[in-house]
Amino acid sequence: MKKSGSESLKSINLRPFVESIIAILVGFIIGAIVLLAFGYNPWSAYYWLFQGALGSTYGIASTLKYATPIMLTALTFAIGTRTGIFNIGAEGSFYFGAIAAVIFTNIWDNMLFGLAMGMLLGALWALPAAVLKVYRGVHEVISTIMLNWIGWFFVLWLIVGPYANPNDPNKTIRIPVDARLPIIGYGLSIAIVIAVIAAVLTYFLLWHTTMGFGMRASGINQKAARYAGMNPKMAVMWSFLIGGLLSGLGGAMKIMGEGPGYAISQGGANIYGFGFDGIGVALVGRNHPLGIILSAIFFGMLRAGTALMQAQAHVPLEIIKVIQGIIVITVAIPSLYDLVKKAIHRGAA
Partner 1 sequence: MKKWLSLFLIGLMALSVVASGCISPGGEESTKGAIAIVYDVGGRGDLSFNDMAYLGASKAAEDFNLDLVELQSNSEDDYVKNLETLAAQKKYLVIIAVGFMMTDAVKQVADEYPDQKFAIIDGYIPDKDNVMSILFKENEGSALAGALAGLIAANDGKDKVGIVLGMEIPVLYKFEAGYRFGVKWAEDYYKQKEGKDVTIDVLYQYTGSFGDAAKGKAAARAQLAQGAWVIYQVAGGTGLGVFDAVGEVLDSQGKKMGPPFAIGVDSAQDWIKPGVIIASMMKRVDVGVYTAVKDAVEGNFKGGIVELGLKEGGVGLSTVDDVMAMFDSLPEDTQKQKLKDLGFNSRDELKQYLEDTRKQVPDWVWDAVKELQGKITTGVIKVPAPMDKDGIVEVRNAKTWQEMMELAK
Per CB under 8 A, 184 contacts partner 1: no
Minimum CB separation of residue 191 from partner 1 in Å reads 13
Minimum CB separation of residue 150 from partner 1 in Å reads 21
Options 86, 106, 310, 346; binder of partner 1; rule CB under 8 A: 310
User: How many Cα atoms occupy the beta-carbon half-sphere of 59 within 13 Å?
Assistant: 17
Nearer to partner 1, 43 or 149 (CB): 43
CA–CA gap between residue 316 and residue 119 (Å, rounded): 38
Nearer to partner 1, 139 or 314 (CB): 314
**The residue type at 157:** W
CA–CA gap between residue 277 and residue 91 (Å, rounded): 9
Nearer to partner 1, 180 or 216 (CB): 180
Nearer to partner 1, 238 or 262 (CB): 262
Options 16, 17, 47, 145; binder of partner 1; rule CB under 8 A: 47
Residues present in the chain in total? 349
Note whether 51 and 310 are within 8 A (CB).
no
Binding part of the chain for partner 1, among 36-44, 99-107, 109-117, 176-184 by CB under 8 A, reads 36-44
Nearer to partner 1, 24 or 131 (CB): 24
Minimum CB separation of residue 170 from partner 1 in Å reads 6
- SS3 for 109-151 is CCHHHHHHHHHHHHHHHHHHHHHHHHHHCCCHHHHHHHHHHHH
Minimum CB separation of residue 56 from partner 1 in Å reads 7
- Considering only CA atoms, which of 104, 219, 216, 103 is closest in space to residue 161? 103
**Pairing verdict, β 188-189 and 183-185:** antiparallel
Options 219, 222, 303, 335; binder of partner 1; rule CB under 8 A: 303
Minimum CB separation of residue 209 from partner 1 in Å reads 35
User: How many Cα atoms occupy the beta-carbon half-sphere of 225 within 13 Å?
Assistant: 22
Per CB under 8 A, 270 contacts partner 1: yes
Nearer to partner 1, 46 or 163 (CB): 46
Nearer to partner 1, 227 or 318 (CB): 318
- Considering only CA atoms, which of 177, 169, 163, 190 is closest in space to residue 100? 163
CA–CA gap between residue 252 and residue 250 (Å, rounded): 6
Per CB under 8 A, 265 contacts partner 1: yes
Per CB under 8 A, 298 contacts partner 1: no
Per CB under 8 A, 58 contacts partner 1: yes
CA–CA gap between residue 146 and residue 151 (Å, rounded): 9
Options 142, 269, 340, 343; binder of partner 1; rule CB under 8 A: 269
What are the Cα distances from residue 33, in Å, to 30, 80, 263, 302, 307? 5, 36, 40, 18, 21
Q: If you write DSSP's letter for every residue of 145-196 in order, what string do you get?
A: HHHHHHHHHHHHHHHHTTTEETTEEEEEPPPPGGGSPPEEETTEETHHHHHH
Options 259, 336, 340, 345; binder of partner 1; rule CB under 8 A: 259
Minimum CB separation of residue 274 from partner 1 in Å reads 10
**Contacts with partner 1, residue ranges (CB under 8 A):** 18, 21-22, 25-26, 28-29, 32, 41-44, 46-48, 50, 52, 56, 58, 62, 66, 169-170, 187, 258-261, 265, 269-270, 273, 303-304, 306-308, 310-314, 316-317, 321
